[in-house]
Amino acid sequence: MKIEDVNALDSDAFISLFGNIVENCSLIAAAIWSSRPFSDVDDIQNQLNKFIDLLPRNGKEGILRNHPDLAGRLAAAGQLTRESTQEQKAAGLDTLTAEEKEKLNKLNTEYKAKFGFPFVICARENKKDAILKGLEHRVQNDLETETLTGVEEVKKICRLRLLDIMENHPGAKL
């Protein structure tokens, strides 16, 4: 899909295509549609980063809170979004041993009790061992550091989702 095809989308089509580049946050796609025309994918990403960076801290926390747990209840029930299912699989989270699963669940619970939102990491850039190590390390952060760290991971997840859409949607089909 070319950037001209993106710029030609009406808001409904744009939201339906890009609504989940930030997990369960279609409001962000709806907001950045106003910034058309985009010059390229980097421009879309920059608009999105700018929108996220300008949110107050509770808005950033809200974005993190809209993410499912890694290898959590929704994953077990097969109820993740398509994107999250693929990402968790890419990290090997669908093939955790019982022991790894228990460790991840314990750390996830500890993390959420401390910060009030789930641990978010770009799963496609981290295999399961790195995810467990990252969780062990990041659970020791303070709230402000962790909110900003989580949001930077959201931007990485978003970039890969954006690139997937651009590659997988030839303009002619829209």
Interface with ligand GUN by CB under 6 A: which residues? 23, 67-70, 84, 87, 118-123, 157
Taking the complex as a whole, the smallest distance from the CB of residue 4 to ligand GUN amounts, in Å, to: 29
Prior bond of 37 cis (ω within 30°)? yes
Name every residue whose Cβ is closer than 8 Å to that of residue 24 and which is 6 or more positions away in sequence. Answer: 66, 67, 81
Task: Specify whether the CB–CB gap between 167 and 17 falls below 8 A.
Answer: no
User: In the complex with ligand GUN, which residue's Cβ is closer, 51 or 111?
Assistant: 111
Taking the complex as a whole, the smallest distance from the CB of residue 149 to ligand GUN amounts, in Å, to: 12
36 DSSP assignment:
P
User: In the complex with ligand GUN, which residue's Cβ is closer, 52 or 70?
Assistant: 70
Q: Is the dihedral of CA 116, 16, 125, 102 positive or negative?
A: positive
Name every residue whose Cβ is closer than 8 Å to that of residue 171 and which is 6 or more positions away in sequence. Answer: 1, 2, 4, 5
Taking the complex as a whole, the smallest distance from the CB of residue 20 to ligand GUN amounts, in Å, to: 10
User: In the complex with ligand GUN, which residue's Cβ is closer, 47 or 108?
Assistant: 108
Taking the complex as a whole, the smallest distance from the CB of residue 110 to ligand GUN amounts, in Å, to: 14
Q: What is the set of active-site residues? A: 67
User: In the complex with ligand GUN, which residue's Cβ is closer, 52 or 120?
Assistant: 120
Report the residue number whose CB is nearest to ligand GUN. 84
Q: Is 148 exposed, middle or buried (0-12, 13-18, 19+ CB in 10 A)?
A: middle
Q: Which amino acid is at 68?
A: P
